[in-house]
Structure 1
Amino acid sequence: MIVITRLNRTRFAVNPDLIERIQATPDTTLTMVDGATFIVTETMDQVIEKIISFRAHVLATAAAWPQPSALTGEH
């Protein structure tokens, strides 16, 4: 989840996998796959950076996850 801010300054978390598109017209608008839209205070570049950071964190966490030993035959 990424945390973003509505125009009224309330923060909420959104699943970045469900974002269909991001537009800056001039306010940043997120359109979700279900058609819902959110206007946020962050710029398009900031939202994209949050998504990149989220995905990097997921990959780093998965890479650091304990792996079963190939020698012991654990799965």
Structure 2
Amino acid sequence: MIVVTRLNRTRFAVNPDLIERIHESPDTTLVMVDGATFIVLEPMQEVIDRITGYRSRVLAAASDMRRSGDVAGVIG
């Protein structure tokens, strides 16, 4: 999950795997695969950076599990 901020300054977490598109004109809008939209304060590049960081952490955790022999945690 990544944390983003609505225009009213409330923060919420969103699953980045469910983001279909990101628009910035001028507000940043997240368009989800189910058609829901969220307008957020963060610039588009910052949202992209958060998604990249999230995915990097997921891959690092999977790699750590594999190295430690906890393959069931990675697969199942």
State whether TM-score is above 0.5. yes
1:64 Cα offset (Å): 0.6
State the percentage of identical aligned residues.
66
The runs of 4+ residues in structure 1 deviating greater than 6 Å are none
Give the Cα–Cα distance (whole angstroms) in 1 for the partners of residues 19 and 49 of structure 2.
Answer: 14
> What is the TM-score when the length of structure 2 is the normalising length?
0.87
Give the helix-richer structure, 1 or 2.
2
Q: Is 1:27 the equivalent of 2:27? A: yes
Structure 1: unaligned runs, 5 residues or longer: 69-75
1:27-75 CA-to-partner distances (Å, cap 9, x unmatched) read 000000000000000000000000000000000011111226xxxxxxx
Structure 2 match to 1:50 = 50
- Give the TM-score, by structure 1 length: 0.88
The alignment yields a C-alpha RMSD, in angstroms, of 0.8
Gaps of 5+ in 2: 71-76
